[in-house]
Structure 1
Amino acid sequence: MRLVLVRHGQTDANVRRELDSVPPGAPLNELGLAQADAAGERLATHPVTSVHASRATRAQQTAAPIAAAHGLDVTVHDGVHEVFVGDLEGRSDREAREHFDTVYAAWWTGDLDAHLPGGESAHDLRARYLPVVERITDGVHGDVVLVSHGAAIRLAAAALLGDTAETLYVPNTGLVVLVADPAAPSGWALDHWDSAVPVPGDVTAGGTPR
């Protein structure tokens, strides 16, 4: 069984470099819709048994072509939306982005209790995200697809891998694929991780959530 984590396609909030973490959030723009269609084509030959998405509009729009390619519905879940940025929500100014990047960097040096102002810590994100993963993968065969968000995917995947693997920025509609492995200490092993250098109009190198 494999867990296929997919980041949503591009939104206008991405282009504005705006912190957008509260569902339903911005919808996909024209490029994002094309990216979602391409993701559906990419996964059309995979043995997908279920498709899931966060409550964010952009995640559900990205999941739709993937589900359609397999004749499936999209199941929407609480708990797997982007890490909540609190007081920084809706901002795109340098001060807000630098504040986010400082906290985000702290998480990757092991300070998982660092909080965004009025928002969440890495521990908070994992506490709500990982139980959903456990529910949707329990006793399942084939590929389980979950469409979510850049920072959330990176934090959750790191936890599922036991915080032993190097994790990277996830581009729009990038895939992180984990395989269930009883021999692995955490129960999961890394199968594939899409990565790319961020480009203008996508997200920051730190993976600012949108």
Structure 2
Amino acid sequence: MRLLLIRHGQTPSNVKHLLDTAEPGPALTALGQEQAAALPEALAAEDIGVLYASTLIRTQLTAAPLAARTGLEIRVREGIRELSAGELEMRGDEQAIETYLTTAFAWSAGDTARRMPGGENGVEALRRFDSVVEEAAGTGAGTVAMVSHGAAIRMWSAARAENIDSAFVAAHELDNTGVVILSGAPGEGWRVVHWEGRALGPEDGVPHTSGPAGESVEDTDG
């Protein structure tokens, strides 16, 4: 299966660099709407068979142009929502952001018992994301698109793909409407083949060549 993990378009909380992870969350900025509108053309070569979005409004708004272009129903699932910030919710200070990302990337490295302050642990976060991926694999679609969130996509990809790790995702942010493409299947394993339009080297896990994505913002809100 070809799995497209797409970060949502820009939100007001992205602009303010806030950890905004609670439901339903904010809508998109004007730029975020432009980014969402550009996705169908950017993904025109992909034969998307199933389209998912999280329960947060921003992912559904981002997925809407893709749904209109493909005629697909948006399947809304809680499992691919952003990693809950818990007690760090709506904070934008350096300490809060460092704690949030350090915890998320520790989950990718295998320390899944660690808990986000006042939030979920890695076992819970991975289990819920895995459940949606497993559901998607069961549809039989060759290509599946999921509009999700920055930290969730980076954490899950590093935990499940054999060719990247927590150090890689810590060093590579994901822009708004940036796309991570994986190939594989539940139970068989995954490989990241593209990170924001850049092909990954088969051995070193380092992106090569440049490609289009959304405008870069600090990766504080997923």
Tell me whether the two structures share a fold, i.e. TM-score over 0.5.
yes
Counterpart position of 1:112: 112
How far residue 125 of structure 1 moved from its aligned partner, in angstroms, is 0.9
Output aligned runs, 1:20-169, within 5 Å: 20-107=20-107, 109-162=109-162, 164-166=163-165, 167-168=168-169, 169=173
Q: Percent identity?
A: 41
The one of 186, 189, 210 equivalent to 1:187 is: 189
Secondary structure in 2 aligned to 1:37? helix
Please give the alpha-carbon distance, in whole angstroms, between the structure 2 residues aligned to 1:83 and 1:179.
23
**Alpha-carbon distance in structure 2 between the residues aligned to 1:178 and 1:143:** 10
Q: How far 1:178 moved relative to its partner? A: 1.1
> Are positions 1:209 and 2:195 aligned together?
no
What is the DSSP-based 3-state SS (H/G/I as helix, E as strand, rest coil) of the residue aligned with 1:127?
helix
Task: Return the offset for 1:173.
Answer: 0.6
Distance in 2 separating the partners of 1:34 and 1:200: 10
SS in 2 for 1:180: strand
**Residues 112-162 of structure 1: per-residue CA shift (max 9 Å, x gap):** 322221012222210111011100122523311000001111122223325
Alpha-carbon distance between aligned partners in 2 of 1:200 and 1:49, rounded to the nearest angstrom: 27
Distance 1:61 1:104, change over 3 A: same
TM-score (norm 2): 0.81
CA distance in 2, matches of 1:181, 1:134: 8
Q: Distance in 1 between matches of 2:93 and 2:28?
A: 22
Deviation per residue, 1:79-126 (Å, 9 max, x gap): 110001101111123332233244345445542322221012222210
- C-alpha displacement at 1:53, in angstroms? 0.2
Change (3 A) 1:203 1:122: farther
SS of structure 1 residue aligned to 2:79:
coil
Q: Which has the higher mean CA deviation after the structures are superposed, 185-194 or 19-28?
A: 185-194
Root mean square deviation, CA, Å: 2.4
The answer to which of 67-76 and 27-36 deviates more is 67-76
CA distance in 1, matches of 2:139, 2:74: 19
CA gap of 1:75–1:106, structure 2 versus 1, over 3 A, is closer
Say if 1:36 and 1:63, in contact at 8 Å, map to a contact too.
Answer: yes
The alpha carbon displacement at 1:200 in A equals 9.6
Partner of residue 175, structure 1:
179
2:205 aligns with none
CA distance in 2 between partners of 1:122 and 1:203 (Å): 23
Distance 1:74 1:108, change over 3 A: closer
Give 2:164's aligned amino acid.
A
The one-letter code of the counterpart of 1:188 is W
Where does the alignment leave 5 or more consecutive residues of structure 2 unmatched?
199-209
Q: Relative to structure 1, is the Cα distance of residues 139 and 120 closer, same or farther in structure 2, using a 3 angstrom cutoff?
A: same
Report the Cα distance in structure 2 between the residues aligned to 1:105 and 1:139, rounded to whole angstroms.
30
Return the alpha-carbon distance in structure 2 between the equivalents of residues 139 and 201 of structure 1. 33
Query: Which runs of no fewer than 5 residues in structure 1 stay unpaired?
Result: none
Query: TM-score, normalised to structure 1's length?
Result: 0.85
Which residue identity lines up with residue 24 of structure 2 in the other structure? P
Offset, 1:69: 1.3
Where do 4+ consecutive residues of structure 1 move more than 6 Å? none
